[in-house]
Structure 1
Amino acid sequence: MSVTPGIYRLLGCAVIAVSVAALTPPTAHAAESADLTLPDTRVTVREDPADPLKVTSYTVGNVAYLRRDAGFAKQTGYQEITVGPKGGMAVAVPTSYSGGRDSVLLADLVANSSTKIQTVDKPLVAKFAHWTRNGGKAVLTVQRKNGTAWETTGFVVVDATAKTARRVNVTGVDRTARFRWSPDGADVVAAYQGGTRFYGQDGAVRRTLLRTGVPAGGEDVFSPSGKALMTWCPVTYTEHVCLWSRTSGKLAAKVNVQPKALLGWWDDKHFLAVVPSAGSYRVVVVDLKGKAVRVLAAISAEDWDKKLYLSYTRR
């Protein structure tokens, strides 16, 4: 999940296999439609079965909703749900601690089973889950509250096969950092002093790209081919969205668009952006020239002000 710099929760290595109820199924199942109205909102999502992405969960403030088949259901007690590639697994982040510890619910959406996995101890939290492209692991950002602000201290890696969580403290991490995966799933990446830093899964610095601007929002900041990294341009640029070569670190393109949020890549030549539209908002597919070529969702100003976030999963 991400808006213009975003939020989420984490802990150690303990795994608790407990008897937990499956995530709530929708109360009704409708045939797949081109237009879907999201429950408890006035948001309309426009889809086509051939699309490379679809909305699999969303949040309104601290309330999460999960898609099962063609319906969505409110997931009481969870503030965030992120569905993995192909839709087989999901990570759900609770709204509160249990026994002084934070945790995640690792859900197998095919088998309709789940496992509670402890992540971090209070006062730390672990949130903002992001999956590897093969769906084998999820990374969450660990934060600690400092006054009224949350500051990043490291990350947690959840192994979906072993059903374990491993906390990694990162020395010198940017306090605004939010961790995501590199395209091959070997490293994690996060903002670092106005640029982008790559870390090994042990927290060691692997590489730093200076002055790129901070990595953009969405579930994956790298293009489907893995060649391009999307960031919010440095403040010295007129444009707001920048694309960089992952291998050389050189600027590949500056896109003349002014989004309220970025929601990831559509394909190598398009990305998703939330843009203002006549007193409301739209999620649009934008090409690398800054032209909106398709509308994917219509969002009321009221829903947007409630901190609505749409999570798109690659099929």
Structure 2
Amino acid sequence: MPTTSTTTVKIPGTKITLHENPADPVWVSSAYGTAQQGEGSPAYVRDAKAGKFQYFGNFQQPTVSPRGTYVAALSVTTLSRTDYNTIRLVTPATGEDVELRTADKPGDTMDARWNADGRHLLMTLYTGRPGSLNIAGFVIVDAATKSVRSRLTPGGRKGGYSWGPDASTLLRQETDGAISFVGLDGTVARSFRDKGDLMNVGTATLRIGTVTATVFATACPGTLKGVCLWDATTGARRAVIPSDKSSGDKSLGDKSPGDKSPGDKSRVFNGWLDSEHFLATVTKTGTTRLVLADLNGKTQRVLAEGPATELKAVTLWYSRARA
């Protein structure tokens, strides 16, 4: 990711501005939700070639696959069904638009996540009610063949499933706090204890100093403050990303490193953008900015900004959407 922006783009119907660079390999490929009442919660998907946002529908949660080959959309209305769950799968190049049956009720499939291969989609099956959800299993969709695999599995807590290092391995946190790598048959390949609360962003291969390592991320355990990065094979701690603006966030006008003016909030870690940077949310005095930060916790660039109430209600989906 370049550390400078050269263009700006507005999210339709919002006051949210994207700061972009034509060289960006990762960009906002869809947006959904609204802070305004009575607007039907519109969703937009971005054309990978023209770069324009196109209306996708109301009450949809579209997520674009890497390189933009597919768009998977969970419809909010499926939550009211009593028979089974569905996922909408669109192929922009051909116009194909199908609805696939996934897992039977009771339970709801949520948290759609594409694998890096751009073909496999993972969803977690939850039972219970909002605020007291339990993990009941997972669903994997092969977008190329339109095949669906669902499996009920014991174990796992509220964070849900995320992708492991490949399309045959998943990651979850157990009810006892252990973090497990799980095969598609539901069996646990290996587990690590005392690593903190798992961040549901999957694994990433990062350049940490002079070493390249595949890691998973947690909120650090015990007295450690920040995001801990753990080796996905050995469980050894590879790095700690500072928890907030200990290095100073000049994009928000900090007076000095570590200075927090009234209205500041700590930075929120939101997943990976490339092998050296992560996406973070920082809110100050009614404005929220999405920023590109390095593994030392230093902000390199503002990627998006807008009213805090609006960015809280609108979901921006980042993906490697351009071929």
TM-score, normalisation: structure 1: 0.81
1:92-125 deviations in Å (ceiling 9; x for gaps) = 1111235732100111122121221011233311
- For 1:309 and 1:229, the matched residues in 2 are separated by 25
The equivalent residue for 1:249 is 235
Spell out the pairing of 1:206-221 with structure 2 (5 A cutoff).
206-218=189-201, 220-221=202-203
Aligned residue pairs: how many? 280
The equivalent residue for 1:174 is 156
Spell out the pairing of 1:27-66 with structure 2 (5 A cutoff).
34-60=7-33, 63-66=42-45
Matched, 1:311 2:311: no
- For 2:162 and 2:55, the matched residues in 1 are separated by 26
One-letter code aligned to 1:312 = Y
Where structure 1 has 5 or more consecutive residues not aligned to the other structure, the ranges are: 1-32
The equivalent residue for 1:240 is 226
In the TM superposition, residue 224 of structure 1 has moved relative to its aligned partner by 5.9
Contact 2:60/2:74, CA 8 A, preserved across alignment: yes
- For 1:100 and 1:176, the matched residues in 2 are separated by 23
The equivalent residue for 1:28 is none
In the TM superposition, residue 148 of structure 1 has moved relative to its aligned partner by 4.8
One-letter code aligned to 2:225 = E
1:121-161 deviations in Å (ceiling 9; x for gaps) = 33311111111211221110101124752221110011112
Contact 1:77/1:95, CA 8 A, preserved across alignment: no
TM-score, normalisation: structure 2: 0.79
Matched, 1:273 2:280: yes
Match of 1:120 among 89, 95, 103: 103
Where structure 2 has 5 or more consecutive residues not aligned to the other structure, the ranges are: 1-5, 35-40, 245-265
In the TM superposition, residue 238 of structure 1 has moved relative to its aligned partner by 3.8
Greater Cα shift, 125-134 or 238-247: 238-247
One-letter code aligned to 2:53 = F
1:37-71 deviations in Å (ceiling 9; x for gaps) = 11122111111121121111123266532212322
Match of 2:56 among 64, 71, 75: 75
1:71–1:224 distance in 2 versus 1, CA, 3 Å = farther
One-letter code aligned to 2:298 = K
The equivalent residue for 1:29 is none
Task: Give the % identical residues.
Answer: 29
1:280–1:114 distance in 2 versus 1, CA, 3 Å = same
- For 2:131 and 2:310, the matched residues in 1 are separated by 25
1:190–1:74 distance in 2 versus 1, CA, 3 Å = farther
Greater RCO structure (CA 8 Å; 6+ sep): 1
1:249–1:147 distance in 2 versus 1, CA, 3 Å = closer
RMSD: 2.3
1:246–1:256 distance in 2 versus 1, CA, 3 Å = same
The equivalent residue for 1:16 is none
Larger Rg: 2
